[in-house]
């Protein structure tokens, strides 16, 4: 399934985590990104994530060596 988030960085979601003082960021294939704020899940206004989206976020966060080990 092709990404609908074209060129969206995981940093965008991490900024929302900080801004809303969220305890968790949930990135699940087939669902929009969600934040846990005060114990409740809150979807972000973004399209459902694809497997390629999530792989891109992981690749963005990990070093090349960490990606190889994964």
DSSP readout, the chain?
Answer: ---SSTT--HHHHHHHHHHHT-SEEE--BTS--EEEETTEEEE-SSPPB-HHHHHHHHHHHS-HHHHHH-
- Domain holding 46, by residue range, is 10-69
Q: Is 4 among the domain residues? A: no
Strands 40-43 and 34-37: antiparallel
Q: CA 70, CA 59: separation in Å to the nearest integer?
A: 10
Whole-model pTM?
0.80
Q: Is 2 among the domain residues? A: no
Q: Is 5 among the domain residues? A: no
Query: Mean pLDDT over residues 28-35, rounded?
Result: 96
Q: Is 47 among the domain residues? A: yes
Q: Is 3 among the domain residues? A: no
Q: Is 1 among the domain residues? A: no
pLDDT at 4: 57
Q: Is 37 among the domain residues? A: yes
When pLDDT is cut at 50, 70 and 90, the band that residue 5 belongs to is low
Q: Is 36 among the domain residues? A: yes
Number of domains in the chain: 1
């Amino acid at each position: 399934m092709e990404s609908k988030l074209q060129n969206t960085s995981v940093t965008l979601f991490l900024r929302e985590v900080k801004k809303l003082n969220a305890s968790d960021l949930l990135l699940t294939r087939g669902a929009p990104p969600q934040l846990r704020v005060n114990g409740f899940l809150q979807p972000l206004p973004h399209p459902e994530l694809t497997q390629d989206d999530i792989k891109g976020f992981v690749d963005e966060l990990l070093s090349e060596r960490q990606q190889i080990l994964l």
